[in-house]
Amino acid sequence: MSNQLQIQKILKTIRWNKGLACALTLLGLIVVSSTLLPLPHDPMQPNPYQTLRPPDGEFWFGTDRVGFDVFSRTIRSARVDLPVSVVGTLVSLVVGVTIGLVVSVKGRWSERIMRCLDMFQAFPLLVLAIVVVALTGNNLRNVVVAIALVNIPRFIRLVRSEALALREAGFIEAATSIGASRVRVMVRHLLPNMTGVVVAQASLAAAHAIIVVAGLSFLGIGITPPQASWGTMIRSGSQNIATGHWWVAVFPGLAVFVVVTSFNMVADGIYRLLAGDDQ
């Protein structure tokens, strides 16, 4: 396809899928601003004479009890919340997809594994995460592990059901008929036909992970102040709401909301792309 046609095709996709484009841009912005762009104030440097100031020209989101600039700290928190959630999600993706593919072959073993999964998934994710961190130690790495563990079942389920459906398709039988090994069928035939749904599901998992991470740090687990994270900010800001200093908790809360919504919109956009592709 000529370059011009390719560009036209991309523009058409963007126009049709505004939500996806919007969400990806937003997420991109957050990542860039938290890592590369300079912040108006040092997020780790409190200003003891500027405590609890409402949002104004100098401190866009106001300051908190200790004098931290809420804006800079909110943005900086992305450096913790995002990577923890994303890495945890990616780990669970890799492990979950692999297990899911292996388990998609009909047999007694696959049934047993699915029953174990059912048990595992009966617990709310946040509770499971708390248990994992409580058992392994209160540090950042274990939060990532908890996120990973807790999200593995959803990938196993997804991949297994997709694989079972795909196995009914003619081309899987055709691959077997020319001598493809089981591994080859999984890697060259099943996996490529699932990438869409897997990526969409990963986006949803990331959204959920953000909430779990924020929840954990709100409870004081995993990430502790003075490390900037949305959960800890909300926790400390929650005490200020009663006294009318709403900005300390609301802005980090908004940040969580925006990121979670963006991930959801990415997933939504991918699904719409997939549905559209079936023209």
C-beta of 9 vs 188, nearer to other proteins: 188
Chain residues that interact with other proteins, rule: CB under 8 A: 169-171, 173-181, 184, 188-189, 192-193, 279
Cα torsion at 42, 43, 47, 48 (round to 10°)?
A: -150
C-alpha count within 13 angstroms, C-beta hemisphere, residue 128: 19
The first and second tokens of residue 31, run together, are 């990542």
Residue placing its CB nearer to other proteins in the complex, 66 or 275: 275
- Distances in whole angstroms, Cα of residue 149 to Cα of each of 126, 140, 158, 260: 12, 14, 16, 20
Query: How far apart are the C-alpha atoms of 207 and 211, rounded to whole Å?
Result: 7
Q: Which amino acid is at 101?
A: L
Size of the chain, expressed as the number of residues it contains: 279
Q: What is the DSSP letter of 192?
A: G
Beta bridge partners of 69: 63
122 or 277: CB nearest other proteins: 277
- List the structure tokens of 76: 């900086």
CB of 101 to other proteins, least distance (A): 16
Residue type, 181: S
CB of 172 to other proteins, least distance (A): 8
Cβ nearer to other proteins, comparing 243 with 279? 279
Nearer to other proteins, 19 or 196 (CB): 196
Question: To the nearest whole angstrom, how small is the minimum distance from the Cβ of residue 116 to other proteins?
Answer: 21
